[in-house]
Structure 1
C-alpha cells in the first residue's frame, strides 16, 4: 500500500505546488490523476519517488517512509517503484533489449552495469515482457528506430523489469494518437491486474482516465478536490476540477459518429 499524509511542496520561488495531500492507494488499484495544467500532478508523482523533494509530510510504501531515507537507502527503495515517463526516457543509441534490461540496474553491482552484464533470468524476463507488449521481434532494434507508441511500450516493459511494488506513470498518452493511447492504457491496466500492482497515472484525457482507472483523483491548485469512482465524475465535479465548461458538448465532440467510427475501423483493418 502507498500512503501520503499531508504532503506539501513549496518551491524556492514561493510557489506552492501541493497543499496537504492525503491519500492511500491499495494493491492492484489503478488511480487516474487528473486536473488542469499546473495543478501539481507531475509534482505529486515526482514527490513519491523523490525526484522532487516534498517540503513536508510523509510518503509510505509498505512499511517504509520514503521521505526519511538517505541517498543510499533511497536508491534501494526506488527499485520498488517503476516509473513510466511522458517522453519515454530511453537511451536512443541502445537496443530495445538493453533499454528494458536497464530496469535491473538497481539490482546489479556497478561493474556489471558498466558492461551491461545481466543474469539469464533477467534476460528471460525481458524477452517475456517484450512479448507481452508486442515487441518480441524488435528486441535488437535501436530505440531511435521506433515509433512513439513502440517507445512507450519499451518504457512499460522497462518499468516492469524492475518487478516493482508501485507503478508511477506520467502522461503516457500525451504524444500518441487515440488508438495507440488506448492500447498503451490497456497494457498498463492489464499489467497492474496481472501483478496486483498499484498505479498512479497522471493523465490529461478524462475519457481515458474514466475508462481505464478504478479511481479518479482530481487536483486543482495543488489540492485534492475530488476522490472517487470514474462513474462519479459528473459535469459538476469536472467543473470543480477544471472550471466552467460545456462538458456535455465536449463529450459529444469527443464521441465519433457511426460513420467516423466505421472509417477508423476500416483504416485500422487496411480496407
Structure 2
C-alpha cells in the first residue's frame, strides 16, 4: 500500500531530522507515530505528501513513487492523500458544507470552485460524510461557530471528500479535552476500518495511541527505535523512545499516583473509560 524506504531529511546545518527511516503500511492499518518533541514525527508526515522535500529515500503509494514527481503529477497524487491537521486548517468564515466541499477542489474545474458550483454528486457525498461524522445539524453553520471537537470532525469529513487512499493525521487531539480526544480517535479508527483506509497519526498521547492504533512506531532523533504492537509498550520500550529521565522522575514527582503511572495500568483504566 505505502512503502517508505531509507527516508532521510537534513537541513543546511547538516542536522538529520529523519535518519534512514523505512517501514510499510498495509491497507486499513492505523499507525501511531510517537516520540519526544523534535523526534521527526511531523517532518515524516510532511515528507510523505511532499510538503517538505526529503533529502533521500523513496515513498511509494500503491506502486507510484512520490519522491521525484513533477509538480503537475504531484498535484494529482496529493488528491489521494487526505490530511487532517492539529489546528483544523478550516476557512473560518465559510460554512461547514463549504469547508467539506473544499476537499474536492482537486477534482473540479476552477470556475466551479470559484463560483461554488460543485457537482450534485459531490454535494450528496459531502452530506454523507457530514452525517458519518455526526454534523448533519451543523451543515450551514460557519466554521468559527463550532467547538474544537466539531472543527476536527469537519476536518475529517473534508479529508474523506478527497476520496483518499491514505490519511495523514498530525496531532488530531492536541487541542481537545480528554473525552473529545477519545471520541475523535474512535471516529478515525471506525472510518479507517469501514473504508480500509491506512492512516499514519502523529500523536503525543501514548495512552490514546495504545487504545486506538494497530501499530506503533517510536521515533527518537529521527530514527525508528521501536516498531510493534501497542501491547509491547512497556516501561523499557518507553524509556528507549523518550529517555530514562522522563519515565524515572515522573513517579517521584507525584508519589501519590505512582501506582497508576505504568503504561499497562493506565491503559486498562483508559479502556474502561472508553
Structure 1 length as normaliser, TM-score?
A: 0.92
- Return the offset for 1:249: 5.0
* Alignment of 1:27 onto 2:38: no
C-alpha distance in structure 2 between counterparts of 1:113 and 1:49, whole Å = 23
* Alignment of 1:44 onto 2:44: yes
Q: Which residue of 1 aligns with 2:156?
A: 156
C-alpha distance in structure 2 between counterparts of 1:70 and 1:209, whole Å = 35
1:1-12 equivalent positions in 2, closer than 5 A: 1-12=1-12
Q: Which residue of 1 aligns with 2:208?
A: 208
C-alpha distance in structure 1 between counterparts of 2:160 and 2:240, whole Å = 35
- Return the offset for 1:240: 0.1
Contact residue 207 and residue 266 of structure 2 kept, 8 A: no
Deviations 1:184-216 (A, max 9, x none): 001100110010000000000001001000000
- Return the offset for 1:11: 1.4
- Where 1:164 maps in the other structure, the secondary structure is coil
C-alpha distance in structure 2 between counterparts of 1:42 and 1:200, whole Å = 11
Contact residue 235 and residue 262 of structure 2 kept, 8 A: no
- Return the offset for 1:121: 1.1
- Where 1:68 maps in the other structure, the secondary structure is coil
Contact residue 217 and residue 228 of structure 2 kept, 8 A: yes
- Where 2:261 maps in the other structure, the secondary structure is helix
C-alpha distance in structure 2 between counterparts of 1:197 and 1:77, whole Å = 16
Q: Which residue of 1 aligns with 2:84?
A: 84
- Return the offset for 1:33: 0.5
Q: Which residue of 2 aligns with 1:127?
A: 127
- Return the offset for 1:255: 4.6
- Where 1:38 maps in the other structure, the secondary structure is coil
Q: Which residue of 2 aligns with 1:269?
A: none
Q: Which residue of 2 aligns with 1:101?
A: 101
- Return the offset for 1:14: 2.5
Q: Which residue of 2 aligns with 1:250?
A: 261
126-135 or 239-248, larger mean C-alpha shift: 239-248
C-alpha distance in structure 1 between counterparts of 2:260 and 2:181, whole Å = 22
Deviations 1:93-134 (A, max 9, x none): 100000000000000111112112211111111111111111
Structure 2 length as normaliser, TM-score?
A: 0.91
Q: Gaps (5+ residues) in structure 2?
A: 252-258
Runs of 4+ in 1 over 4 A off after TM superposition: none
C-alpha distance in structure 2 between counterparts of 1:206 and 1:225, whole Å = 15
Q: Which residue of 2 aligns with 1:72?
A: 72
Matched residue count? 262
Q: Gaps (5+ residues) in structure 1?
A: 266-271
Q: Which residue of 2 aligns with 1:237?
A: 237
